[in-house]
A and B are shown apart, each in its own frame.
Chain A
Amino acid sequence: MEKPCQIKSIPLSSFRAAKPEKKQNQHAPAPVRYTYKYREIPLQRDVGLAVREEKEEMGYCCNNSFPASSHVLLTDLSQRWKCPKLQNLRHKGQFHGSQKASKVLAFYGLKAPPYKLDALEPHMSRRTLEMHWGDHHRGYVEGLNKQLEKDDILYGHTLDELVKVTYNNGNPLPEFNNAAQVWNHDFFWESMQPGGGDMPRLGLLEQIEKDFGSFTNFKEKFLEAALTLFGSGWVWLVLKRNERCLAVVKTSNAINPIVWDDIPIISLDVWEHAYYLDYKNDKGKYATVFMNHLVSWNAAAARMARAEAFVNLGEPKIPIA
């Protein structure tokens, strides 16, 4: 096993090529979107979690998946590592991205919404998205990373696992708030789409009608939940695993239904920061607009389809001989 190398910020451009010479072009202004910082990962672990340096607002970050060749790259680098040129580059600070990183850490990144920040106008303004995603959501990610820096105990989880582990069966650890809020906001952005609203179709609609009576009834329940939630929290449409039906659930602060093993289908953020800039104190109007114009039933249908792999919703059709 190769001795793991301690690598500081190295731009992604140096990994893309297989040839060793390519690495020398680190100081060329490459259109780098990511700066991966590796911590000392033993090679057997292929769990990689990246910290992304934000260059633009658009862009993605792998939360818990890595290019398959990552461990190979580590091997390559550990050889080049001895090359004095690399040492020089490190000193010269020629790396794109963070100059200030002296410690090597890799944790969770900020995932961008699957649409431009002004795509949800006029129902959710660009300003709200800039603040909500750019400040609040980013703050949670950075807060989480800072908390995880302290020790190794929670290292290596996917975000889902981290939320459940830090929930600690009702006795949440301090990291829970940040981890859960990161998860919640990722889910929330994907629960909306430009030109959303309208109604679900086919299987999801049938299931809603089965469990709520009618789509209108479901909508009323959802809006009522948003209005009667005290304080900050979230409203969810979940597929309950044990009862095997859909339900509207409201949770406080950062709690989300995956800690109870339920499967969320859509969510609505009713923390005040989600709607205050656009609707001031009119939470009801915000929730109505969400239902009518923002909610992404496509995303909901995809999640429902995936959920059906885990929850048996129908009676098995046993053929009569």
Chain B
Amino acid sequence: MPASATTYERIVYKNPSEHHYMKVCLEFQDPGVGLNAAQFKQLLISALKDLFGEVDAALPLDILTYEEKTLSAILRICSSGLVKLWSSLTLLGSYKGKKCAFRVIQVSPFLLALSGNSRELVL
């Protein structure tokens, strides 16, 4: 028996998320340096401005959470700017004369993925 003709629609998502989320941590060579959220954002924007200029310093970058004690934050950036942000964080060397480095802990296009990390899973 011939099957009745069915109409179907196939939807393909190539890359559904327009934002990427990064969990980063700032480490100083000498401990005891504190930054508040505004200074942290200023540091990120100046890193982008150094490497990629004023055009890319204006990328829509958001700090979703920030902890002053551990200097760790969750950032959100549009997907086209992820490579630029990551490379400018890699090349950032100092803040107000003090040596520092950004450690990128996790990157994901989904915010939910940053809540758990299979490396830190305790079985």
Q: Do A and B come from one complex?
A: no
- B-side residues, CB < 8 A to A, are none
- A-side residues, CB < 8 A to B, are none
